[in-house]
Every structure is written in structure tokens, then in C-alpha cells.
Amino acid sequence: MSYTPKAALFTPWKLGNLPLSNRIIIPPMCMYHCEEGTGCPSAFHRMHLGSMATSGAGLVIIEATGVTPEGRISSKCPGLWSEENTAAFQALLSDIRSYSQTPIAIQLGHAGRKGSSYPTPEVHGKRQYPADSAQGWQTVAPSAIPFDDTEMTPRALTVPEIKELVEAFAVAAERADKQLHLDGIELHGAHGYLLHQFLSPLSNTRTDAYGGSFDNRIRFLLEVFDAVKARVRPDLPVWVRLSSTDWMPDAPASWDLAQTVRLCQILEERGCAAVHVSSGGLHAAQKIPVSPGYQVPHALHLKRVLKKMAVIAVGLITEAVQAETILQSKVVDVDEKTGKETEKSIDAIAVARAVLFNPHWPYQAAYELQEKVVVPPSYYRAEPTPNHQTFLKTFKYQ
């Protein structure tokens, strides 16, 4: 059945060279359900990622996955540093792909000083296990600065250790590409984790080649990006999630939108497929003006100044009409040499918590916007009304 969507949210597009059926992305969300200490996904992930992959979204991104054991956020978070991890992910993905044709990517990261965390801090009243506990470890960071005075002081990484971590990212990316055959790789440079810790002068007070100036503070992230790109197939999209700002307006120096623009322009030149625009997470004193779509203005600003990179917006986007309105919003890029004006729009919307609440959020969005979405045949009889055929019956099992 040939079908041309009218709503931007359901318009096909490409993330780099990866064709996606619509512009709904399910972003990485920590589940804290891996087998304790191993970094291996569990039966929970079959249920969770299976539901995400049959949701009708254009792309699903697996939660933050540590490139080393100490790179995990908690002892129950996934990793991709060993053959054991790889085999567990292979089995998981084989099951999911039997019933889903949704592209699946993975987010690779390192928690840095925010590792060794309790999976559910609201239960324990603390955020980190002690370094000498069974579920904890000594955290590392660019500098020996804790997140706040309740957490352990991280050990500052040496330059040889930084180089080892660059290689760890590259090895994990190679596993994701050549053994798991994933459809994309997102590097986690947001939310106060290690790559973000190097970017911000609030957490990076080094005096060597990895600290001080803007060029030095972005060096680690660029080395990781280049190493990953070099180890995966040329057409595999690699992109970054960034915190566009630390939300620390009273700090004499922090990470902000202007620096994010400069970094993205450099990443664009290196072949980065997209920027996934989030914010915050680095400092306990952050002042975030939380409201629906509160990060969208930063995404629009980046879209205006970037030439080729896709821009993914995220942040309290919960309703179909809201998502559609964001995608319909236009910014104007004016060419400095010719004066030519070009209208641009954000490329995709990441929907997180709303999809946890309703794993068939894309079905609901298609119904509300009078659009169509591809679903597995088992769900065909859930069609809500005969007045509009919401489900495209083009699904083919592998």
C-alpha cells in the first residue's frame, strides 16, 4: 500500500544513511535490570526492548551501556566490554528482530564520577555505593572533584588511562557494529557523565592537554568520536547526545549553548550524523527551568547554525500535537556570503517517559494525527475505529 503522510512526525527520513519510517525516537532510558555485576541484559530487557521495538517508533536506542565495568552507572547497568556481554546482547537482539523490523541503536558511555550508583536512589536515600562494597567501585573523572559533598571523590584519570578509555569506546563500538549488527551508535556526552565531565570547567580543572581551554576540554570527546568512526563500517551513523548547557548561570565558567554550538560544528566536519539535544546533570546546584519542551529552543538554535547534522529534540515532549508542532516550527539560516535564507526544522523527536507510560505511544500519535504506522500483525485487531485505518499492514516477519 502506497501512503504519503501529511504530518511531519510520520514523514520518513534518514539519520545519516539509516532510513527511518518516522521521526519518533525512543531514547536511552536506564532500566537497572541487568544481571548483577555482569553488564549482561536480562529477561527484563527482552520484555522492555521488545515492547519498545514493536511500538511503531522509527528508532529505538538501547540504554546507556558502559564501555568498561567501571563505566557503568550502576552494577545493574549494561556493558559491552566482554564476549559474555556480546553473547547476551546477540541472543536478546535475535529474539527481538524475529518480531520487529524497527532499527535499533545503542548508546555507549562512561559514567565517570557518577558511577557506582544505587539503581534506585530514592529507596536508599543515597546515590552511590562505597568504593569497597560489592556493588561499588572507585570512580574516575577528569579531576578529583565529586558531584556534591555526599558522594565519593573520584580519582583523576592519567593520560595513559584516557587513551585506554578511547580504545575501550572503539572496541565496544566495533562489537556493536560487527557482532551485534546494530543500526547506529550514540555517544553519551550529556547528563554529567564522563564525556560531559571533560567538557565542563566545573568538573574539569586539569592543566594538561585535556583541560583548561575549550579545545583541550573537547579533546577527549573528539578522540572517542574519531576512534569509534574509524572502527565501524563507513555507513554506520554515529552521533552524540550532549547537554547543551549546565544550567549554571551564576558560575564564572561552565558548559553552555555557545560552546555546544562550537563543538557541534567541529563534530559536523568529522561526519557526526546528529546531535541529540539534552541538558544539565553535571552539578548539584543547577537551575533548570523545567516545563514542557524546555530544551527545544536549544535544539532549534543548533538546527539553525548547523549545515548537515540532524538535530533530535527531547525533554518533556509527551503529546502527539506537541511533537508535531515542534517539528513544524521553522528557523531561518542566513548564508553569510550570499544572504540566502533557508528555512529549517528539527529532524526528530525523542519521546522517553511518555513511552514508558504507554509503550504504544506511536500508535496513539498516529491515530490522533490521522496518520498511519507499521505494526506487527498481532496488533491489527486493535484498530481503534473503522473510520480511519491507523495501521499500515506492510509488516513482514524475518
Residues 176, 138: Cα–Cα separation, whole Å: 27
- Residues 227-280: tens digit of each pLDDT: 999 999 999 999 999 999 999 998 999 999 999 999 999 999 999 999 999 999
- Segment 82-111 shows an average pLDDT of 96
Q: Over the chain, what is the mean pLDDT?
A: 94
- Beta bridge partners, 342, equal 333
- Residues 138-177: tens digit of each pLDDT: 999 999 999 998 899 999 999 999 999 999 999 999 999 9
Instruction: Parse the chain into domains and list their residue ranges.
Output: 8-394
What one-character DSSP code corresponds to residue 74?
A: B
- Residues 203-214: tens digit of each pLDDT: 999 999 999 999
What percent helix, strand, coil does the chain show, rounded to 5?
A: 35, 15, 50
Helices (H) and strands (E) in the chain, counts: 12, 16
With 0.75 as the threshold, say if the pTM is over it: yes
Write down the residue that cell numbers 555526599 correspond to: 150
- Residues 344-379: tens digit of each pLDDT: 999 999 999 999 999 999 999 999 999 999 888 888
- Residues 185-225: tens digit of each pLDDT: 999 999 999 999 999 999 999 999 999 999 999 999 999 99
107/381: higher pLDDT: 107
Fold topology of 8-394 = TIM Barrel (3.20.20)
